[in-house]
Amino acid sequence: MDASQLQTTDVRLNWGVVKLEIFQKLWRQRQITGEGIRVGVLDASDIPSHPGLHIFPKSQKVFSDKVVPHHHGTYCSGVVAADGTEVFGVAPDAGLAYGKVAVTAKSVAEGIEWLIAVRPVVQVISISLEIFEENEPVADFQALKAAVDHAEEKGRIVVAAVGNDFSRRREMVTRFPAGFSNVLAIGALKEDLTLHPESGMNSCIDLVAPGNNLRTTEQGGGTFGSFSRTSAAAAFASGAVALVLSALKNRDMEMTPAQVATLLRGTATFNFPNATRCQSNLYGCGIINPVAAIEKIETLKND
């Protein structure tokens, strides 16, 4: 993608891409757009169909035939990597894989294992689903944890929504897979970079990301202009991770998932009064900042 002719006022750009200077400092200055990286999206809705999403037949699989009355997965996929046909994702040159799963530990575990094995390789696994441990058979929950651990062992970075608090009571509720320590758990921000009122509280939260009124792809074509809450934020963060991995790839550098997570936590922007960096149950280590992460990468020697 050539971003040189785009302006910050282009209606296809999400506000978060401009506000976090992803467009200005990564796409335009460095030509870092996610090329060479693939993101696997797991969701409960149908396989996305949109001219701006590139999901090849061998990179899509249905694990659940349950019909859901929305296109949540199409929205997530567009925020991650829509190519500019009606809307731009965070990493518009990244590839996509997609698994339709049920909202159960067993089904999500199967989806993760499939994404680990699928070729071409998927480096980022994006999950905007909430699973409650108490609702799952013990063996199924253990299988989910094992799948997440397997993903880490194979060098895949798992990003998940911390979950929504529709009551707005700020009650501590741990949802999974975001609740696992080796998953990047993401909360949501509004346009003024304050916390979305329905972003959940979780002791495992790592980062927050733009997650309100995001413009994204609509099933079959067209755009959806108000994708919000932690699902949107996790998709945004997944695209940001793809940009960081693309920068590493461009420099022939490698990092483990744990090292990438440490980098992102360490370079996050934290400007929340009355909260402590990396100890907050609402903000984690702060706002994901792929620009700062890549600037840090540029100071590192390739050993």
32-51 confidence digits (pLDDT tens): 999 999 999 999 999 999 99
Closest CA to 211 of 165, 170, 161: 161
53-86 confidence digits (pLDDT tens): 989 888 999 999 887 768 999 999 999 999 999 9
Assess whether pLDDT exceeds 90 at residue 6. no
pLDDT of residue 4: 81
153-187 confidence digits (pLDDT tens): 999 999 999 999 867 666 677 899 999 999 999 99
Assess whether pLDDT exceeds 80 at residue 200. yes
Assess whether pLDDT exceeds 70 at residue 303. no
230-287 confidence digits (pLDDT tens): 999 999 999 999 999 999 999 999 999 999 999 999 999 999 988 999 999 999 999 9
State the distance between the two ends of the chain, measured CA to CA, in whole angstroms.
Answer: 30
pLDDT tier for residue 149 given thresholds of 50, 70 and 90: very high
Domains of the chain in start order, with CATH, are 15-297 (3.40.50.200)
Contacts of residue 230, Cβ cutoff 8 Å, sequence gap at least 6: 128, 161, 162, 163, 164, 186, 187, 188, 196, 198, 199, 200, 211
Residue position matching structure tokens 């993903």: 151
Closest CA to 244 of 260, 231, 228: 260
